[in-house]
Amino acid sequence: MAGKALWSGRFSGGMDDSMLRFTSSLDVDSRMAFYDIMGSLAHVRMLRACKILPEEDADKITDSLRKIARKIEDGKFEMDPLLEDIHTNIEVQLTKSIGAVGGKLHTGRSRNDQVATDFKMYLRDAALNCVQAVNTLIKALQDVARANGDTVLPGYTHMQHAQPVTLAQHLLAHAFRFGRDADRFLDTYERMNKCPLGAAALAGTTYPIDRKMTSDLLGFRDPTENSMDSVSSRDFVTELAFDASMVAVDLSSLCEEIILWSTSEFRFIEVDDRYSTGSSIMPQKKNPDIAELVRGRTGSAIGAVVTMLAMTKGLPLSYNRDLQEDKRPVMDSLQMVTDSVYMTVKVVSTMRIDASRMFEVTNMGFINATDLADYLVVKGVPFREAHGIVGATVRYCIENKTTLDNLTLEQFHKFSPLIDEDVFQTIAVKSCVERRDSYGGTSPPSTEVELAISMQDSVRREDDVRLKDQILAGCWEKLLKG
């Protein structure tokens, strides 16, 4: 049995079932049902105001759309799988409800601008959800940082001991990364917040429409400026996919450290039992599975960006059916990233920190070597010469199985007569941390400044999201209630 398209006048036969299955997007674009109703409500209100539709017809369409919206909200809207997408399903239901007048809804618009508008509205909300999720993780990191301003652990470069840092600064480094990720979503929101509705198929419309009105009704900043660009460009989709991939990459970095820190070799943290698993054969195992899964799912987020770039790289203007495939990758990516962020929040906020173990490991090796070099510089030795002196001292320690802290003053004098008793206070690990009080440094006072800045940024993002949510909620209320 062949399926029928809503606009079948051009064709003498129906669509083959295999064609319908291959071209259907209903399983994906059904997520945009609410936004499709909102776009249609705004469109019909504009058609009424511009006297393109008679008031009676516009009112019938509006009342029926609102009833469909309630069905969608209550989960009672039944979709016909023989219809290719959510937009057709809603239009068919509308026509069944009020007859031929329902077909007037499509006056002055095309499926091309309709879908672009629906997708932008869907993605605006998805972007704000991502900002809220990431901001929640940032606040969890801030909470742990606030409680660990004096907790010292090794700072690494090349996964080798580099210099001692506080756990607060280490976690705030992640927080600032995630802060930029959240801000990228907000930046993308601003760029994409222009309304394509009214661009029609590609060239605009001959009807005397008011695109500014529909833009305002749907909470957009302005209408898009070029009708061909409006229906063909998906840079906003690619940009959001990239934003999500950056969150995933930064999550993967954090989760990699959680995995390392929970090993027997590190023993810096213990992941809470609720977010760990055991082994089917080794009873001693406690696996940080959440962190591993988040790390593993990064690949799919990166894949979404590659999919969008590959899909759009050779498309001629304007709309092409390839663009039907733009939804699943970014929808799934944004949802996966949001879910991963919230799970990581639970891991971070419940992990147990072994501060004494961190400090014990910090005292291994030669993590205070740079401070010894700086000590010599203060005594008047050029830094490059001081670097060589300390390198020779470290080599001596390795050969004699000792550390810089355990050398005697006499042993230090073998390498430089300028070293005095005050060197022992200078190279003490806690002193190394406390003296790094430059802006952005790891000393507790510097870290307190960083924490305050990070918290201010979080409040700013919360306020921005709240304002945007209020604007959109106000638009939906006006469209649904009149």
Would you please indicate which residues are annotated as catalytic (active-site) residues? 158, 279
Contact 46, 213 (CB under 8 A): yes
Give the separation between CA 441 and CA 168, rounded to whole angstroms. 11
Residue 125: which of 197, 31, 204, 208 has the closest Cα? 31
Give the separation between CA 126 and CA 119, rounded to whole angstroms. 10
> What does R_g of the chain's alpha carbons equal in angstroms?
30
Residue 369: which of 421, 326, 405 has the closest Cα? 405
Helices 111-146 and 86-98 cross at an angle (nearest 10°) of 120
Contact 245, 302 (CB under 8 A): yes
The answer to whether the Cα torsion of 306, 309, 315, 319 is positive or negative is: positive
Amino acid identity at 261: W
Q: How far is CA 20 from the centre of its chain?
A: 34
User: Please, how many CA atoms are within 13 Å of residue 478, restricted to the half-sphere of its CB?
Assistant: 14
Q: Which long-range contacts (CB under 8 A, 24 or more apart) does 308-317 make?
A: 308/234, 308/237, 308/238, 308/241, 309/238, 311/234, 312/234, 312/235, 312/238, 315/232, 317/202, 317/228, 317/232
| Cβ atoms within 10 Å of 278's Cβ, excluding its own | 13
Give the separation between CA 382 and CA 373, rounded to whole angstroms. 9
Give the separation between CA 250 and CA 421, rounded to whole angstroms. 44
Beta bridge partners of 195: 223
Residue with the two structure tokens 């001596």 = 396
Q: Cis omega before residue 318 (within 30°)?
A: yes
Contact 54, 4 (CB under 8 A): no
For β-strands 222-223 and 194-195, DSSP reports them as parallel
